[in-house]
Structure 1
Amino acid sequence: MDEHIRIGDVAPRVQYLADGVQASFTYPFPIFEATDLEVRLDGLVLSAGYAVAGAGASEGGSVLFDAPPATGRRVTLRRNLAVARTTDFQPNGVLRANTLNDELDYQVAALQEVKEELGSALRLDPSEVGGAATLPLREARANKLLGFDSTGGVTVFDRGEGTMTVPFPGGIPRTVEDKLAERLSARDFGAIGDGTADDGPALQAAMNAAAASGKFLEIGEGIFRTTMPLLLPGAAAGLSMRGTLLYAGPGGNAALTLGDGGTANNQRKSYTGLAVYRSLQSDWLDEADVGIRIRNIDACKVEIRRAERFTIGVQLLGDARGCEDSDIHYGRIADNRIGLDLRTLTGSAWMNSLRHHGGHFACSSGTNPGVGRFGVRLSAAAGAYRLHNAHLFVGPAFELQRQGTPGTVDAIPFLLEVDGRSLTAQGVRMEACSPFVARHTGGFNDARYEVAYVGTYGFAGCAVDYAGATRAGGTVLPLHQAAAALGTPRLAADASNIRARAFRWDTTATGFEGLAVLSGNPTIPANTLTNFCFPGLSSITLNADTVTLPTSRALAFVVDCSTCKEFFLAAEGSGLRPMAMQFDAAENVLDGSAPLLWSNMNAVWQGAPSYWWEGNADLDSLVGGLPLNRLQRVTLAPGAAYAVIGVRGGNAASVLKSLRLYVPATEAPMVLAGGGRAWGTRELSASLAYDPPSLAAGASAMQAVTLPNIQNGDFVQAGFSGQASAYMEWTAAVTTTGATGTVTARVTNRHGSTAIDLAAGTLFVRALKPRA
């Protein structure tokens, strides 16, 4: 220890910001005893939990905490001496230098503390000698405002007496009371925000006052516990929260409701910083258990920081009116069965034109693991208006914690239970979700999901699940696929000129290259793909450039759909009705228990004997005056392995010009026609083993070959794979026609003098149907 402390020009206070790791903090000023050092954490004086080293050293010392202060906490080390004499000099006694130095050092140290504290005090400027700075007596200043009179002296005012003016041109004097009443604070009504006291009555009183006065309400920092559900009526100007509501009330209620029901309109409001947390985790059984319920907003701005542990985290509700034209920003929406519910209650309400920004819709792995959960739901009460239109979601993240792989409970980002048009979700993040970005159970059209990241399935498994839906209304764009594939369908089959593909199948029937011809009423009972697909049928009229299809006839592409279940059908013409059939892996027809979906019309099951699904409108029919049906998506049943997709005549004058079939860019399904299939090809062929006889010069031999469906007028040829000779000439002619028709091949020895005997080989015959 020093012989005596030397007091330098060092401020007797130092502060640090803890990092959660550091436990030792130095102080650069001297102290006499360890008890002379005051230790604070965030302003709170500590009496234990630390040790002081360096007392009596001129350069100061250090404080070692038993445990490092938490990150972000403010550590203050301050010298705080008792103002008292430490020595007493005796008359005529020995005046020792060390004793005198210690006394003077102590006085200087105490004066440094006084100087430090005066630096933080309100005081008159040195030039204002004699200014009036004495406070009025307690009785005179009780319930008054502290201010300054015309000479600058300290005085008090009644709340409604003193006035102030903003320092800008045009400012009008206002009383302090009027100024303070611009906004209401929950603390004005007794709310504490310590997380323990029941602030419910105070908060509701503040909300009632905001509605009665049309003022804006502020709920400041802190945790405001309430055992009662709260309602801010729509007459209030808005709400700003910096703290959090801790709901500890009964279940089956909305913890915080903004806006009135009935006919009240909640227009042009600002709700910011909304945060509600349930004290106990909901069991997700009661959908009346809601965190934040917002009614009938129109042209509003809403910011939701937090909604956790409810059955429904956030619910936008429309009753006599609806919700529209508003921006909603989301933060942490966690441990709710339904994170966000967009719901109509009456037939005159709506849910339109809302812009949803961000949001982390998440569930903990241990929260109600046996119950399905959804991020966003579009819903309607029984009998309520079901057309939800024009919703935009930008950058939502979903981490819903499916249970098991691929998942034994639903954990799906979007659930659409209603009809309507246009839901666009951009930059969707999916982790620990089911292998679906959405489930549609109604007739919703034009939903587009841009999935930016799928973190669970190796960049797979982000499709739409159609559970009882009446429309194939969803499109998924996985951004992890090749960039060029985004929004670019692949052409799978093309009949750009139907008329040019027509050929004469027989004397009454017409076929089309690459296409199957179907009958709406086949005379022979059919149950397999081959039975239903004809190479040609009658009653089809060929025009100069088009084809007239009666209502009983269809032209279609036949595809292998074992992998690809989604196709896009486009047809040029008039009065054409889309149709499709489905078959299992054994090529047996699927019945009405395996429904398919069209994108913009209802699917109608025709049943026996045709067994096809068709749309309930023609492709050129108008929807609201618009030609929305021209391109139709067909989404097939999961069990379909083969499909027939095309058009039939919608009326007696239906005309077909062209037909095309597209698939998503990631797919390349096989189109079936010709080869081993009877339909879609002009060419017939047959063969047999044949050993031509020895032929003298000029002699001929003939051999009949069975070639079913051959007709007079078909172009026929014969060829031989055995020994070749330039003198042996092969020709063919139609011998008999029909299902058991034959072609007779003739071989003639054209040598002038020599007999020829060819070795055995294979005799081939070929027929080509003439174009019609």
Structure 2
Amino acid sequence: MAEHITIGDVAPRVQYVADGVLADFTYPFPIFEEADLDIRLDGAVLTGGVTITGAGASNGGTVSFTETPANGTRITLRRRLKIARATDFQDNGILRARSLNDELDYQVAAIQQVADDVAGSVRLDPTDAGNVVLPLRGARANRVLGFDGSGDLALFDRDTGLLGVPYVGSVPRSVEDKLAERLTARDFGATGDGVNDDGPALAAAMAAAAASGHLLEIGEGTYRTTQPLLLGGGAAGLSMRGSILYAGPAGQAALTLGDGAAVRNAAKHYEGLRVVRATLSDWENEADIGIVMRNLDASLVEIRQVEGFTIGIRTQGVERGFEDTTLILGRIVNNKIGLDVRTETAGAWNTSVRYYGGHFAIGSSVYPDKDRFGIRLSAAPGAYVAHNRHLFDGPGFELQAESRPAISGIPVLCEVNSRSIWVRGMRMEGCSPFVARHTGGAQDHIYEVAWASQAYLVGVDYTATATRTGAVVRAYHQAAAFRESTREVGGVGNLRAARIRWSNTEWGFEKLACLSSNVVGSPSTLADFAFPALDSYGFSDSGVILTGGRGLGFVVDARTCRDFAMAVEADAPRLAVMCFDANRNLLSDTGTPLVRASGQSLAWNAAARWWQGSADMADATLTRPQVVHLEPQVAYAIIGLVRIGVDYEVRAMRLGCDPLFSPPLLFGLPGLPHGARELVAEASWDPASIAAGGSAQINVPLVGARPGDFASAAFSLSTSGVVFMAQVGATDVVSVTAWNRSAAAIDLNAGTVRARVVKA
């Protein structure tokens, strides 16, 4: 040795896990010679194929492998000395310090070796005196080693039910029973290497879990299966740390959880679910599903990943309900429909379910010509369709459709008559400009958009089969402050006080157009239907009575705003909407609804030329709050109430809209004089010289003026000595008189005379 070795306080053992690249490994403890180093690969002793450096050095050295150890190989380096003394000091010889130190160093190194061996042994606690001696070989053969009530070593039969347990009050049981308490896939031969077919082993494990009522654990790894898997409702649950790689036939559910028929699968716990299809589905067969969960009740489900199927996840009511369950969602990727909320029979239901998270995403190159949806609410033909109270918290949708107008990439597809579906804090990235598509009678849906690449310009797409408007979109992206209030487009708080007497028999109302179900002639424009006044209205002390053929409505400019909310105080009123194009021409029924309401269907009345409600707006039938949705071709509309069947009283009417918009309410305008109590007109006038005490007169045309209206007039120039008076001498004409009350003739210059009429 070149220098004297020093034995420090360093454990004589070190272990590594090879990465398949590194070939040199250090050992930090000293050895006296190369033969002192014991090298093991995964427990096997290595006898060659290495170069060892550093023997005799205090800080250890390096082991260099001729062939790099494979990735994952466990490498153990330890010092192993022969416990023997091969040297001796000579009598009366010189006692050299180096020789003495070498002997002492070797002894310390040997003691460290023994200490390392003892560290891995089973031994008594320092406070526990005595010795533990194993029974003889024959006595302990095929027996279980344990401890008796005094803590002393004892033997038990392997199948005994009397084996003690370490906790006071515990139930004694066999080792086999203890080990079977939690089943694992590997107990049944599953490898999890992603290559072998683990389907039969997984199927056996799931059948055992369902039969025993135990929880099944699928550990780390990738479990490839060529057959669909079923975990029956008898199992307590499923815990996954690895993933299922489905390589089985198309048109099958890769993993089904719970029993069907009328079985209630209650209080289940499924965690870490991860199912990936080996090859991407063609998105054509809806029976190609990743995970199906049947008839769950009061359960907890955590799904980490489902990828590559036509339908990623289906929650299914089969002759019974899926309800009161919580789902925690992870990556739901490259599925045509990420989550399908479904019923299969008329006696099933799907209700009161909470969903947290969920990243519904499609790869940019995945079927760029096919529609895709994040969440679908559906039902089999003839199945129960009133899904209700589903709450989605914080889902994200990345559907790769924003720049592809030929396809639909919509977060929610609703094909049923669902109620109270709330999606809160959702994210829309690369989606179509719709947060949802409704094809049926869904209502009371609330879609809250926290972020969208389309900003707040998102809506709901109602197809031709939709019978309700049914939804509210709250786009908070760049518009959160606007959502703290609602905008009133028009309001008449007291119709009795707002009435306007147009003639001895005709009445109008402030801000409102009068409607008739039987307009004579050939009406075709907005002005032909928005009457300033009509007869046959009745009155009570608090409101107006709509009698046969009569109605009232707000006239709105709908070119920028598509949704309006009607609120009324009336006795069982009936909603009616008239639609007009950008040129204010009437739009008739062409087979596709132009307008929808939130709480009822609208039917086309060909004789009256309006869409009218199928039910009264009544609290008892939950139809009083009404939202009216207009299709894009509707530029102007009359939204109001009409008399259908029986007379009824209307006391107040209000029309609101999204505060992001401020659509004009049309009334008191040229060509649309309805809704105005005060009328004005003017004319140029150059009266001749007016003698003292004399007068001059001009008739000013004013459409809507009726005898009995309050009238006044004024002149645009100084009129000292001349008094202007006005009266409605005939229908649509205001007679203006200039009276010279001075003692001298007055000649007024040319100016403008203005007439004003106020209806009683």
Q: TM-score, normalised by structure 2?
A: 0.88
Cα 1:197–1:97 shift into 2, 3 Å: farther
1:611 maps to: 609
1:515 maps to: 512
1:118 maps to: 118
Cα 1:479–1:707 shift into 2, 3 Å: closer
Cα 1:688–1:125 shift into 2, 3 Å: closer
Code of the aligned partner of 1:3: E
The answer (yes or no) to whether the contact 2:37–2:80 under 8 Å persists in 1 is no
Describe the superposition over 1:112-157 as per-residue Cα deviations: whole angstroms up to 9, x where unpaired: 34432431232456876653247847x9746x64445788776764
1:687 maps to: 682
The answer (yes or no) to whether the contact 2:13–2:78 under 8 Å persists in 1 is no
Q: Does 1:678 find its partner at 2:679? A: no
Cα 1:501–1:91 shift into 2, 3 Å: closer
Describe the superposition over 1:500-539 as per-residue Cα deviations: whole angstroms up to 9, x where unpaired: 1111223332111111111112112222211111111111
1:526 maps to: 523
1:265 maps to: 264
Q: Distance in 2 between the 1:50 and 1:569 partners? A: 88
Code of the aligned partner of 1:635: H
2:426 maps to: 428
Cα 1:546–1:125 shift into 2, 3 Å: closer
Code of the aligned partner of 2:682: S
1:350 maps to: 349
2:565 maps to: 568
The answer (yes or no) to whether the contact 2:515–2:531 under 8 Å persists in 1 is yes
Q: Distance in 1 between the 2:100 and 2:365 partners? A: 71
Q: Distance in 2 between the 1:213 and 1:128 partners? A: 44
Q: Distance in 2 between the 1:750 and 1:319 partners? A: 94
- Note the C-alpha offset of 1:29: 3.0
Which residue of 498, 501, 512 maps to 1:501?
Answer: 498
1:541 maps to: 538
- Note the C-alpha offset of 1:645: 1.0
Q: Distance in 1 between the 2:595 and 2:285 partners? A: 34
The answer (yes or no) to whether the contact 2:549–2:642 under 8 Å persists in 1 is yes
Higher mean alpha-carbon deviation, 465-474 vs 376-385, is at 465-474
Cα 1:36–1:406 shift into 2, 3 Å: farther
Code of the aligned partner of 1:308: E
What aligned pairs does 1:328-343 form with structure 2 within 5 A after superposition? 328-343=327-342
What aligned pairs does 1:203-352 form with structure 2 within 5 A after superposition? 203-352=202-351
Code of the aligned partner of 2:520: T
Q: Distance in 2 between the 1:525 and 1:20 partners? A: 90
Code of the aligned partner of 1:450: E
Q: Distance in 1 between the 2:403 and 2:558 partners? A: 26
The answer (yes or no) to whether the contact 1:406–1:435 under 8 Å persists in 2 is no
Q: Distance in 2 between the 1:507 and 1:42 partners? A: 109
Which residue of 58, 77, 80 maps to 2:78?
Answer: 80
Cα 1:378–1:199 shift into 2, 3 Å: same
1:174 maps to: 173
Code of the aligned partner of 2:689: S
Which residue of 652, 656, 659 maps to 1:662?
Answer: 656
> Structure 2: 5+ residue runs without aligned partners?
none
Q: Distance in 2 between the 1:81 and 1:53 partners? A: 14
Cα 1:601–1:444 shift into 2, 3 Å: same
Which residue of 408, 412, 417 maps to 1:419?
Answer: 417
Code of the aligned partner of 2:378: S
Q: Distance in 2 between the 1:186 and 1:615 partners? A: 60
2:693 maps to: 698
The answer (yes or no) to whether the contact 2:702–2:734 under 8 Å persists in 1 is yes
Q: Distance in 2 between the 1:36 and 1:519 partners? A: 110
Describe the superposition over 1:353-406 as per-residue Cα deviations: whole angstroms up to 9, x where unpaired: 11222222222223323222222111001111111011122232x232323437
Query: What fraction of aligned residue pairs are identical, expressed as a percent?
Result: 49
Cα 1:29–1:74 shift into 2, 3 Å: farther
The answer (yes or no) to whether the contact 1:231–1:256 under 8 Å persists in 2 is yes
Cα 1:731–1:550 shift into 2, 3 Å: same
2:737 maps to: 746
Q: Does 1:631 find its partner at 2:622? A: no
Cα 1:420–1:110 shift into 2, 3 Å: same
Cα 1:503–1:481 shift into 2, 3 Å: same
- Note the C-alpha offset of 1:543: 2.6
- Note the C-alpha offset of 1:726: 0.9
Q: TM-score, normalised by structure 1?
A: 0.87
Q: Distance in 1 between the 2:268 and 2:549 partners? A: 59
- Note the C-alpha offset of 1:658: 0.6
Higher mean alpha-carbon deviation, 666-675 vs 471-480, is at 471-480
Q: Does 1:369 find its partner at 2:363? A: no
Q: Does 1:755 find its partner at 2:745? A: yes
Q: Distance in 1 between the 2:752 and 2:554 partners? A: 34
- Note the C-alpha offset of 1:575: 3.0
Higher mean alpha-carbon deviation, 128-137 vs 97-106, is at 97-106
Q: CA RMSD in A?
A: 4.0
Q: Distance in 2 between the 1:20 and 1:515 partners? A: 84
Code of the aligned partner of 1:634: V
Describe the superposition over 1:581-600 as per-residue Cα deviations: whole angstroms up to 9, x where unpaired: 22222212222235211111
Code of the aligned partner of 1:717: S
1:409 maps to: 407
Aligned length: 751
Code of the aligned partner of 1:413: P
- Note the C-alpha offset of 1:219: 2.5
Code of the aligned partner of 1:697: A
- Note the C-alpha offset of 1:90: 12
Q: Does 1:59 find its partner at 2:59? A: yes
Describe the superposition over 1:3-35 as per-residue Cα deviations: whole angstroms up to 9, x where unpaired: 243221212345799999999997643356899
- Note the C-alpha offset of 1:756: 2.1
2:3 maps to: 3
Q: Secondary structure at the match of 1:499?
A: coil
Q: Distance in 2 between the 1:667 and 1:121 partners? A: 79
Cα 1:159–1:194 shift into 2, 3 Å: farther
Cα 1:522–1:161 shift into 2, 3 Å: same
The answer (yes or no) to whether the contact 1:135–1:154 under 8 Å persists in 2 is no
- Note the C-alpha offset of 1:768: 2.5
1:640 maps to: 634
The answer (yes or no) to whether the contact 1:402–1:410 under 8 Å persists in 2 is no
Which residue of 438, 461, 465 maps to 1:465?
Answer: 461
Higher mean alpha-carbon deviation, 312-321 vs 261-270, is at 261-270
Code of the aligned partner of 2:711: V
Describe the superposition over 1:453-506 as per-residue Cα deviations: whole angstroms up to 9, x where unpaired: 33x23x423432222321121122334466665464222211001111111223
